[in-house]
């Protein structure tokens, strides 16, 4: 599944996207900024026009990483927490 992200939808939708999509396309002002996995998009996209999934924010706060990146969904966050213990 691929989803078009044209300026962030609300938090719930973002978390659903991060859990369900294979690819996310990010469009801003008519330009395709990124077309990549949720992991790459949310870890690399640094633009104040876009929010991050709650799982990503929580992971950042708790300093939990998976393969050097912050997890972007609940499943990855849980895995990172288990690895840390």
Partner 1 sequence: MQIKIKSLHYKYSETNFSLDIPDLTLSPGLICLVGQNGSGKSTLLKLLADLLPAGDAIKADGQALSEYLASGRLSKIAYAFQDPNDQLFNSSVEKELAWSMKQAKLPEDEITRRTEAALKEFGLAEFRDLNPYDLSSSGKKLLTIASALVLDPEVCLLDEPLMSLDYPGRCLVTRLLEKRLAQGKTVIMITHDMDWLSENCQEVYAMSQGQLVYHGPVHQLFSDQELLDRLGLLPAKTWQLSQLLGLKPEVLSLK
The answer to whether residue 54 forms part of the interface with partner 1 (CB under 8 A) is yes
Judged by DSSP in three states, 75 sits in helix
CB 46 within 8 A of CB 58: no
The answer to whether residue 21 forms part of the interface with partner 1 (CB under 8 A) is no
The answer to whether residue 58 forms part of the interface with partner 1 (CB under 8 A) is yes
CB 18 within 8 A of CB 72: yes
The answer to whether residue 81 forms part of the interface with partner 1 (CB under 8 A) is yes
Residues in contact with partner 1 by the rule CB under 8 A: 6-12, 15, 48-51, 53-55, 57-58, 61-62, 74, 77-78, 81
């Amino acid at each position: 599944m691929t989803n078009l992200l044209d300026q962030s939808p609300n938090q719930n939708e973002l978390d659903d996207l991060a859990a369900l999509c294979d690819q996310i396309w990010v469009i801003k002002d008519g330009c395709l900024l990124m077309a990549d996995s949720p992991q790459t998009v949310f870890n690399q996209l640094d633009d104040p026009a876009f929010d991050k999934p709650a799982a990503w924010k929580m992971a950042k706060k708790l300093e939990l990483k998976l393969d050097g990146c912050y997890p972007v969904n609940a499943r990855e966050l849980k895995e990172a927490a288990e690895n840390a213990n």
